[in-house]
Amino acid sequence: MLAPASETRAPIALDPGEGEALWFNNDLLIFKATGAQTGGAYLLVEEVARRGKVTPLHTHPAEEETFYVLDGEALMHLDGKQRSVTAGCFVSVPPGVPHAYLVTSETARTLILITPGSGAMEDFFRAAGEPADERALPAAGPLDIERIGLAAQRTGAVAILGPPPFGGPRA
């Protein structure tokens, strides 16, 4: 017999702006629900990014990464194909599928769901990022691919396959 949900974990209820905040890859990440809070079911992250934010081509060996765009626009590279995503778009990337994205609007706000919530992606974000001093975008800077690569190796949550697959610089 299954235990009632209230016995398996506590409910999560956050007000706007609540949740652990990190600066990661020139973004503001806010953990809305961690793997520990969800009994390992998922990690839910709100991401705020500015134009030009880009990820290297990568996979997640053991997690599915799902994006729901709340505001803004990005170019998604999914298993060799590119498509534009805007507010209301949904993208789900199974484990092992190569992907990357580039923010093309002034800013973009996205919910990212990682399943399962093993803790590996949280560890990766924390190792490659830093606690946010405020709930605002950090000062823009170059992609710290070395720090991201070391965090990926240490946690095993991300396999970096190569540089961003979007060609030259974009405005």
Sign of CA dihedral 126, 169, 94, 17: positive
Query: The tokens 């998922």 sit on which residue?
Result: 42
- Residue-level pLDDT at 23: 96
Q: For residues 22 and 13, give the distance between their C-alpha atoms in angstroms, rounded to a whole number.
A: 19
Phi, psi of 68 (to 5 degrees): -125, 115
Q: Do 70 and 87 form a contact (C-beta atoms < 8 A)?
A: yes
Asked whether 17 and 32 are in contact (CB, 8 A), the reply is no
Least confidently predicted of 63-72, 100-109, 160-169 = 160-169
Instruction: Give the global pTM.
Output: 0.91
Confirm if 35 and 122 have CB atoms less than 8 A apart: yes
What is the predicted pLDDT for the residue at 150? 95
3-state secondary structure of 82: strand
CB 148 within 8 A of CB 157: no
Type of residue found at 169? P
Q: How far apart are CA 60 and CA 114, in angstroms?
A: 10
Q: Residues 60, 38: contact at Cβ < 8 Å?
A: no
pLDDT score, position 2? 43
**Each residue's pLDDT tens digit, 4-58:** 544 578 999 999 989 999 999 999 999 999 999 999 999 999 999 999 999 999 9
Domains and CATH numbers, the chain: 18-131 (2.60.120.10)
Tell me: the pLDDT tens digits for 43-90? 999 999 999 999 999 999 999 999 999 999 999 999 999 999 999 999
